[in-house]
Amino acid sequence: MRAAFFVIMQTFNPNLNVLAALGAWDIVVFALVLLLTLCAVIYGQLRRKKGANKFLDYMLMGRRLSLPLFVATLAATWYGGIFGVNEITFNFGIYNFITQGVFWYAAYIIFALFLVDKIKKYQSVTMPQLAREMFGKKSSYAAAVLTFFGIMPISYVLSLGIFLHLVFGIGVVKGMIAGTAFVCLYAARGGLRAVVFSDVVQFFVMCAAVFLVLAFSVGAFGGIGFLKANLPASHFSLTGGNTWFNTLAWGFIALSTLVDPSFYQRCFAAQDAKTAKYGILICTLIWFCFDICTTGGALYARALMPQAQPAHAYFLYALQLLPEGLRGFFVAGVLALILSTLDSFLFIASNTLGYDLLKGKFKDKVLANQIFFFAVAAVSVVLAVFFEGNFRRIWFVAGSYMSACLLIPMVFGHLWPRRISDNAFTFSCVLSAAAITLWNILPKPAALNAVEGFYIGVICNIIILGFAVFKNKTYAKN
Task: Indicate whether 396 belongs to any domain.
Answer: no
Is the confidence at residue 396, as pLDDT, over 80?
no
d(CA 160, CA 154) in angstroms, rounded, equals: 10
Q: Within 13 Å of residue 279, how many CA atoms lie on the same side as its CB?
A: 26
pLDDT digits (tens, 9 = 90+) for 308-363: 888 889 999 999 999 999 999 999 998 888 888 888 989 999 989 888 888 767 77
- Could you give the percent of the chain with pLDDT greater than 90? 38
Strands (E) in 356-470, as ranges, are none
Task: Indicate whether 88 belongs to any domain.
Answer: yes
Q: What is the DSSP track for 256-324?
A: GGGG-HHHHHHHHHBSSHHHHHHHHHHHHHHHHHHHHHHHHHHHHHHHH-TTS-HHHHHHHHHHHHSPT
What is the residue-averaged pLDDT of the chain? 85
pLDDT of residue 167: 85
pLDDT digits (tens, 9 = 90+) for 242-269: 777 778 878 877 888 888 888 999 999 9
Task: Indicate whether 337 belongs to any domain.
Answer: yes
pLDDT band at 18 (very low <50, low <70, confident <90, very high): confident
Q: Within 13 Å of residue 459, how many CA atoms lie on the same side as its CB?
A: 9
Q: What is the CATH number of the domain that holds 351?
A: 1.20.1730.10
- Phi, psi dihedral angles at 41 (to 5 degrees): -65, -45
* DSSP secondary structure code for residue 477 in this structure: -
d(CA 116, CA 13) in angstroms, rounded, equals: 47
Give the total number of structural domains in the chain.
1
Is the confidence at residue 478, as pLDDT, over 50?
no
pLDDT digits (tens, 9 = 90+) for 440-475: 788 877 777 767 777 888 889 889 888 888 777 644
pLDDT band at 41 (very low <50, low <70, confident <90, very high): confident
**Of the ranges 82-96, 184-198, 217-231, 385-399, which is most confident?**
217-231
pLDDT of residue 299: 95
Task: Indicate whether 13 belongs to any domain.
Answer: yes
d(CA 301, CA 318) in angstroms, rounded, equals: 8
pLDDT of residue 453: 77
Is the confidence at residue 7, as pLDDT, over 90?
no
Residue 379 vs residues 82, 143, 346, 376, 383: alpha-carbon distances, Å:
21, 19, 11, 5, 6
Which residues span the domain enclosing 272? 2-390
Which sign, positive or negative, has the C-alpha torsion 186, 192, 197, 199? positive
Average of per-residue pLDDT across 199-223: 93
pLDDT band at 393 (very low <50, low <70, confident <90, very high): low
pLDDT digits (tens, 9 = 90+) for 150-161: 888 888 888 888
pLDDT digits (tens, 9 = 90+) for 101-152: 899 999 999 999 999 998 988 888 999 999 999 999 999 999 999 888 888 8
Model pTM score: 0.85
- Could you give the percent of the chain with pLDDT greater than 70? 93
Q: How deeply is 27 buried, as exposed, middle or buried, from its count of CB atoms within 10 A (0-12, 13-18, 19+)?
A: middle
User: Do residues 124 and 130 make contact, with C-beta atoms less than 8 angstroms apart?
Assistant: yes
Task: Indicate whether 72 belongs to any domain.
Answer: yes
Q: Is 23 left (phi over 0), alpha (psi -120 to 50) or beta?
A: beta
pLDDT of residue 270: 94
pLDDT of residue 473: 63
Task: Indicate whether 455 belongs to any domain.
Answer: no
Helical (H) or strand (E) element with 88: helix 82-92
pLDDT digits (tens, 9 = 90+) for 53-112: 788 888 899 899 999 999 999 998 877 667 778 888 998 989 989 888 899 999 999 999
pLDDT of residue 166: 83
Task: Indicate whether 177 belongs to any domain.
Answer: yes
Q: What residues contact 285, with CB distance under 8 A and at least 6 apart?
A: none
Task: Indicate whether 34 belongs to any domain.
Answer: yes
pLDDT band at 477 (very low <50, low <70, confident <90, very high): very low
User: Do residues 92 and 231 make contact, with C-beta atoms less than 8 angstroms apart?
Assistant: no
